[in-house]
Chains A and B, each alone.
Chain A
Amino acid sequence: MAKSKPRVKAPKSASKGDIVTIKTLISHIMETGLRKNKKTGKIIPRRIINKFQAKFEGTEIFSVDIDTAISANPFFQFSMKAEKSGEFEFIWTDDNGEIYTKKSKLTVS
């Protein structure tokens, strides 16, 4: 499978106290480990994104512990209360140990 690509939609600016909404999507097959290869009859090994984290200025604001029932190309929408300017960091952890990240800046006025 090609390398997973994250997509993030987060606001660039907000007023202090605003609740901002963030949407994230990443390309990933989310193989459950419950399917069999139709030709060989062997179980296809599990490979999912098992953790998603959203941090702001290094502090976790939201995270998800993921099991196999989250759909392929996982989508998450969540919120944050904008208190100060800073940087978001979004982190996806793959079963195979790979980490995919994306950053986004927010200016609060």
Chain B
Amino acid sequence: MKGTAKTKALSALFAVTMLSATSIFYMQVVKAGDSLKDDGLPSGISKVKVKPATDDGPLDEIISGWHFRSKETKNLQQDDFENPGYLWVEQGEELWATKDGSKGKSCKSCHDDPAKSMKGVGANMPKWDAKLKRPLTLEQRVNTCRTQGLGAKEWKWESREMLSMTAFIRNLSRGMPMNVQADGPMKPWVEKGKNIYYTRVGQLNMSCSNCHEDNYGKNIRADHLSQGQSNGFPTYRLKWQKIGSLHRRFKGCMKNIRATPYKPGSDEFVALEIYLSQRGKGLEIETPAVRN
């Protein structure tokens, strides 16, 4: 029985691998934009396409992942009530005022009204931390606050609490353009991220750019490829049936190309997040976006 299952799995893996490897050649030729109808805008967003901030970037136009989704998926993001991502945003709001840790404090104790203190914060992450001499993602910033400010335990990267808090904070910057610092001490991190973006890895020997730069707007099997922008994260994914982090998505992409994924929160993923934020500079924050 075990042997049969293994054979099945192997033959399936082989077929899938061959299909994936050849699928590049069989991609449906749809020019980016051709099949993309105007289905309005996501809630709270004024535009889903922007011109790149600098001329030296590889893209002529930066397009939110929203644009590549079906009408039904888009509809879910057009109504803040129907968007299930708000179940997490609301929990984040509750956690904001919930005391935790040895110092008997909550986020509110230091940062007061989040609508004021946190507005725009999510749009600038990851951000350089002068004390730690490294950039911190929003998740890492939250955990620094928890351990040092509250005397509380760190939240796990993909825990319900962390996803709720990061979705809540990013949502307070909804509609604001992504604006990560890319110069100064952040420069080597952008470079590191760029390097990862363009390096082919895994059994399928693919890089991020193979799908999200060379072939966005086309179909890879039944999937409509986006530019892989990060402005909607944490995102409610229909596949996950819940909200998830950007690093979880990175992991999934790496598994798809049969590479060994880096760990969420690793320097590699942090660098990649910084590079993506720089790449998508100017695109409005959509958190919590809804994707397939």
Contacts and interface: CB of A to CB of B under 8 A. Distances in A.
A and B touch in their complex, CB below 8 angstroms: yes
Interface of A: 2, 5, 7, 9, 23, 25-27, 29-30, 71-73, 75
Interface of B: 81-82, 84, 86-87, 90-91, 160, 241-242
A55 B21 CA distance: 56
B91 A5 contact: yes
Contacts of A7: 81, 86-87, 90
Nearest to A77: B82
A71 B241 contact: yes
B82 A73 contact: no
B81 A73 contact: no
Given A2-B160, A9-B81, A25 B87 contact: yes
Contacts of A25: 81-82, 84, 87
Given A5-B91, A73-B87, A23 B241 contact: no
B242 A72 contact: yes
Nearest to B85: A73
A73 B93 CA distance: 19
Contact of A75 (B82, B90, B160, B241): B82
A109 B82 CA distance: 28
B90 A5 contact: yes
A72 B236 CA distance: 12
A56 B218 CA distance: 50
A25 B241 CA distance: 14
B82 A5 contact: no
A100 B289 CA distance: 27
Contacts of B91: 2, 5, 27
14 contacts: A5-B87, A5-B90, A7-B81, A7-B86, A9-B81, A25-B82, A25-B87, A26-B87, A27-B84, A27-B87, A30-B241, A72-B242, A73-B87, A73-B242
Minimum-distance CB pairs A-B, first 4 = A72-B241, A27-B87, A73-B84, A9-B81
Nearest to B80: A9
Nearest to A26: B87
A27 B84 CA distance: 8
